[in-house]
Structure 1
Amino acid sequence: MAESIALDGKDVLLVFPTNHKKNSTVRILKTPKTESSVRKIFLPKSVANMLVDWKVEQDEMKEILGDEYMDYNLVMASIFGLPLGDGAIRGPLKKLIEDYNLPPVVFHSFRHSSVTYKLKLNGGDIKAVQGDSGHAQVNMVTDVYSHILDDDRRKNAELFEEAFYEKKNLDPQMHVQQENNNVPVADEVDPELLAKVLANPEMRALLNSLAKTMK
């Protein structure tokens, strides 16, 4: 607090320069701040094809512009090769939301959506999702997305209730039928061949029907 009080106008100007025509914004290209941020991402085939098409367009633009193209070896860049700011995403996203009357979200929300869908699709394989999401530790994914796993566990409980307590999709006579589904076997029939035939439910049912008609 004492240091803040001691600051006079010129000090504040030096620390927080006001807008001035001599001031300019500079973007610095460097590696990510942490080692875990440098990672390999496996893309869906459709997304990979989009990047291939974009690379073709980018190479064509480089050839057209020649020395005017500032090549920083960026995948996503402006028409002249310059780095893009977050406004390049926020603007189109805002327009998309307004045009289709969608719930307002920020672009970072798509990261959460991606993790959520992947956990649903792979049955809760947290380690696999961690590699794409960039979380340093597995427990970070567990802490943030544990509700997804809880939903699956809740669904499992419902399926268990239906199958074992409400007895949905269960035939009460299934065991009785299995006991009475014995087919008479003649001495000249190959037991091994018959076992293979009876392993097929459709063939077993057909043989049972034939046996009943022969009685």
Structure 2
Amino acid sequence: MIFPSQKKNNRTVRVLKTPKTDSSVRKVFISKSVAQCLIALKADQDEIKEVLGNEYQDYNLVMATTFGLPIGDSYLRTKMQEIIDALGLPDVVFHSLRHTSVTYKLKLSGGDIKAVQGDSGHAQADMVTEVYGHILDEDRRKNAEMMENAFYNKENLNPQMKGSEESGNTIAVPDGVDAELLMKVLGNPEMAALLTSLAKTMKV
């Protein structure tokens, strides 16, 4: 489909056609907040259609101009720059939003590359790891630090257990240590005995 030009004597036209790759045709899951924004946008479009009547060119677009035509990339860049300037944010390009989305999804999903790949449209999972592998490396470094604090720190290997008939046994969990994971480890008699033995040998 070729859209009519929005400017006189303009030979440049916008074309709507099928995506160039199969991976570009995909189902995308959106959050409730985004869905509500799209519903509100659709309601606004319906009102505009009713007011403009035949003047509105309905191409069944999700994002469209006031008269129903596709939104140009220059308009997006202009509006994004206005938001950046108004909020005092660092200068970025529109495509940066895609990188930000993939980065946060990797962080929030705990590195679920396959799930993120489905949204981003990367043909292969290794393409995600190649571009965003440093994000996963950061989490791996943090995991290593947590293991250091939980199992090899001298103070942490000798937790202060406080007995009380009313409240039972409690343990002071160091900052940055997963309390649930630590309790599971200490709940294993063999592991608890090993850690206690190590703690005694490492005392200064």
Q: TM-score range by the shorter chain?
A: 0.7 to 0.9
Scaled by the length of structure 2, what TM-score is found?
0.72
2:80 partner amino acid: L
Correspondence for 1:40 among 27, 32, 36? 27
Residue 168 of structure 1, CA deviation: 5.2
In structure 2, the residue matched to 1:100 is 87
Residue 117 of structure 1, CA deviation: 0.6
Q: Quickly say closer, same or farther: Cα 1:62–1:169, change in 2 above 3 A.
A: farther
Residue 26 of structure 1, CA deviation: 1.6
In structure 1, the residue matched to 2:42 is 55
In structure 2, the residue matched to 1:159 is 146
Asked which structure has the greater CA Rg, the reply is 1
Q: Quickly say closer, same or farther: Cα 1:43–1:167, change in 2 above 3 A.
A: farther
CA RMSD of aligned residues (A): 2.3
**Structure with greater helix share of residues:** 1
SS of residue paired to 2:144:
helix
Fraction of identical pairs, as percent? 65
In structure 1, the residue matched to 2:70 is 83
Scaled by the length of structure 1, what TM-score is found?
0.69
SS of residue paired to 1:162:
helix
In structure 2, the residue matched to 1:135 is 122
Correspondence for 1:70 among 52, 57, 66? 57
The reply to whether residue 24 of structure 1 matches residue 24 of structure 2 is: no
In structure 2, the residue matched to 1:120 is 107
Unaligned runs of 5+ in 2: 1-7, 170-204
SS of residue paired to 1:42:
coil
SS of residue paired to 1:77:
coil
